[in-house]
Amino acid sequence: MEDLYFIAIIPPVGLRERIDEIRKEVSLDHGVYSALKPPVHITLAAPFKLKPAMEQQLIQKLKSLCNFDPFIQKLEDFDGFPEHTVFIKALKNTGISALYKNLKAALKPYTEGSKNPINPHITIAYRDAKEAYPKIMEQYQNRRFREEFLTDHFTLLKHDGKRWNIHSEYYAQPAASQLEMSL
Q: Write the CATH number for 8.
A: 3.90.1140.10
Residue 40 DSSP one-character state? S
Helix (H) or strand (E) segment spanning residue 19: helix 13-30
Residues 61, 62, 63, 65, Cα dihedral to 10°: 100
DSSP β-bridge partners for residue 170 = 154
Residue 96: which domain range?
A: 3-181
The residues near 46 (Cβ < 8 Å, ≥ 6 apart) are 6, 114
The residues near 124 (Cβ < 8 Å, ≥ 6 apart) are 19, 22, 23, 26, 35, 78, 86, 87, 88, 140
The pTM of the whole model exceeds 0.85:
yes
Tally of structural domains, the chain: 1
Residue 127 DSSP one-character state? S
pLDDT (tens digit, 0 to 9) for every residue of the chain, 183 residues total? 899 999 999 999 999 999 999 999 999 999 999 999 999 999 999 999 999 999 999 999 999 999 999 999 999 999 999 999 999 999 999 999 999 999 999 998 877 766 677 899 999 999 999 999 999 999 999 999 999 999 999 999 999 999 999 999 999 998 754 444 445
The residues near 75 (Cβ < 8 Å, ≥ 6 apart) are 88, 89, 90, 91, 122, 145, 146, 147, 148, 149
